[in-house]
Chain A
Amino acid sequence: MLSKKDFPLLVKNKNLVYLDSAATTQKPEMVLDSILDWYTTFNANTDRGLYDLSIQASNTFQQARESIADLFGVMPNETIFIKNATEGFNLLANGLLRQLKPGQNIVISGLEHHSNYLPWLNLSKRLKLELRIIPIKDHRINMKIAAKLIDSDTAILSASHASNVLGYLNPIKELASLAHRNNALVIVDGTQVVPHQKVYPWEIGADAYIFSGHKAYGPNGSGVIFLKESIAYKIDPLLLGGDMVESVNDNVVRYKESPYKFEGGTQNPAAQVGLSVALSELCKRRPEVIKHEQELIKQLEEKLTNPKVIIHNPNPDLPILTFSLKALHCHDVASLLNEQQIAVRAGFLCAEPLVRQLNEQGVVRVSLGLYNTESDIDKLVQVLNEICERV
């Protein structure tokens, strides 16, 4: 299995305990090598040049698309490259604008990251549509209320596969079933799940499945929307310009088919090729990665027994543990951990409505990656206990 020795940043910073992988993962050497390889072997603008180098670049870029599509059980033309999940949600929210009619509603859950909240809030305000938010009960989506909120006027259901704060898998199949019964489109934010679980988006009922690559060991600027071929034609592109058109004649523009119509302008092939390398390796190692991460998060929860620590998400499905200290603001906890070279996230975690329900002043989040070890967990617990003694 990949381990710390395969991650140059962690090799360089031997004392760093990196526990913020839900924000971004560190990058393995093979991904960094692939970026260098792109720029030293293939670099040319893709899908434009008629010369050999550009053709090789286009082929390599297309192979990355095919490889990622294959790992998730979708078609290459259903695999749209984006720079991050925020771009993905904005692309879909803007692209669906012309499909929506007065009186329709959009449904999201109360667990959402801002990237799957603000685009829908903005769209609903622009079109004067109702944005319905499924409330949370015991930190889970309240399915009874979901069944009432998703109705025949629902045009879109957009929900996270798992929250970036709580790390519980959401019942996407059940939600998708409710939505499809009402002919609504199902969009799923898979950003937190892809690094930790095998996913087949169409099997869980998604019509579109979005994730950021940088949280799955890929480079920054990489990411994907899987979008069903049967729906893609209804969605307008967000970025208009280079490379996304078949022809332009005066006022008549013919867009390319998906995925190319959604990839306006020069792309970032080095990042997406790097993502395909990361995901291929991750999928090869999937069973051992899941076992390793599950063992570590269980250990953390078992060892974090200090009564001053309040755990907000016991028994998470993903390796994410969110907590507060009774006597200390979350930013102070994070700063004190940083003094001992422990990196965690603290605050509202880009999910302010949800976090305010847990603690008005924010929370501390520990999120693991495949490179974390038992000694990372022990150091965190030891330092947290020391902090608890001081306050």
Chain B
Amino acid sequence: MPSYLTKELLELSRSPKHNHKIKNPTHEMDQENVLCGDSIDIQLMIKEGVITKAGFTGAGCILVMASGSKLISKIINKEVKNIDLNENSWLESFKPAIPVGRQKCVLLAIATLRQALSQE
């Protein structure tokens, strides 16, 4: 069985993209995984319904950091209304599949993004 720990995830967790705060965010949200204490903070600049800038900071396992990095890369320059916030779709984008016990690590970023976007 191939390991969930792919070179891509390992590399993303070591050198995550967009792993910084942005200036003057219009939306921001931080969340913690209460089971393990891993945390993530997402900042967004949204202009006329488009995410023009985004960044994240956080502390946690490979999956938290890699998931945060992948998610921010995916949403920059996207219209908010076109962003897929479905948890299952996000989980399915990780191959090989993430073990059940670790799926919360992957989902922390998307749950935080959903909360950030729900702000007025």
Contact flag A361-B59 (CB < 8 Å), given A331-B36, A335-B101, A390-B5? yes
Q: A347: nearest residue on chain B (CB-CB)?
A: B36
29 A-B residue pairs with CB within 8 Å: A328-B62, A329-B60, A329-B61, A330-B61, A331-B36, A331-B61, A331-B105, A332-B5, A332-B61, A332-B63, A335-B4, A335-B101, A335-B102, A336-B3, A338-B99, A338-B101, A339-B1, A339-B99, A347-B35, A347-B36, A348-B36, A348-B37, A361-B37, A361-B38, A361-B59, A362-B36, A362-B37, A390-B10, A391-B10
Q: Mark A316-348, 1 if CB is under 8 A from B, else 0.
A: 000000000000111110011011000000011
Query: Given the complex, which residues of A lie within 8 Å of B5, measured CB to CB?
Result: 332, 335-336, 390
A183 to B105, CA, bound (A): 49
List the 3 closest pairs (A to B, CB-CB), nearest first.
A329-B61, A331-B61, A332-B62
Main secondary structure of the interface of B (DSSP, over half): loop
Could you tell me if B10 and A361 are in contact, using CB atoms closer than 8 angstroms? Answer: no
Could you tell me if A329 and B62 are in contact, using CB atoms closer than 8 angstroms? Answer: yes
Distance of B102 from chain A, by nearest CB (Å): 5
Distance of A382 from chain B, by nearest CB (Å): 15
Number of A-B contacts (CB under 8 A): 40
User: B37-56: which have CB < 8 Å to A?
Assistant: 37-38
Q: B3: nearest residue on chain A (CB-CB)?
A: A339
Q: B59: nearest residue on chain A (CB-CB)?
A: A361
Query: Given the complex, which residues of A lie within 8 Å of B37, measured CB to CB?
Result: 348, 361-362
Distance of A114 from chain B, by nearest CB (Å): 14
Distance of B68 from chain A, by nearest CB (Å): 14
Most chain A CB atoms below 10 A, which of B4, B35, B37, B105: B37
User: B72-120: which have CB < 8 Å to A?
Assistant: 99, 101-102, 105
Query: Given the complex, which residues of B lie within 8 Å of A332, measured CB to CB?
Result: 5, 61-63
A336 to B3, CA, bound (A): 7
Query: Given the complex, which residues of B lie within 8 Å of A331, measured CB to CB?
Result: 36, 61, 102, 105
User: A377-391: which have CB < 8 Å to B?
Assistant: 390-391
Query: Given the complex, which residues of A lie within 8 Å of B59, measured CB to CB?
Result: 361
A328 to B59, CA, bound (A): 12
Query: Given the complex, which residues of B lie within 8 Å of A361, measured CB to CB?
Result: 37-38, 59-61
A373 to B100, CA, bound (A): 29
A338 to B26, CA, bound (A): 42
Distance of A128 from chain B, by nearest CB (Å): 28
Query: Given the complex, which residues of B lie within 8 Å of A328, measured CB to CB?
Result: 62
Distance of B3 from chain A, by nearest CB (Å): 6
Distance of A329 from chain B, by nearest CB (Å): 3
Q: B101: nearest residue on chain A (CB-CB)?
A: A335
Contact flag A335-B99 (CB < 8 Å), given A329-B60, A329-B62, A390-B10? yes
A146 to B101, CA, bound (A): 40
Query: Given the complex, which residues of A lie within 8 Å of B35, measured CB to CB?
Result: 347
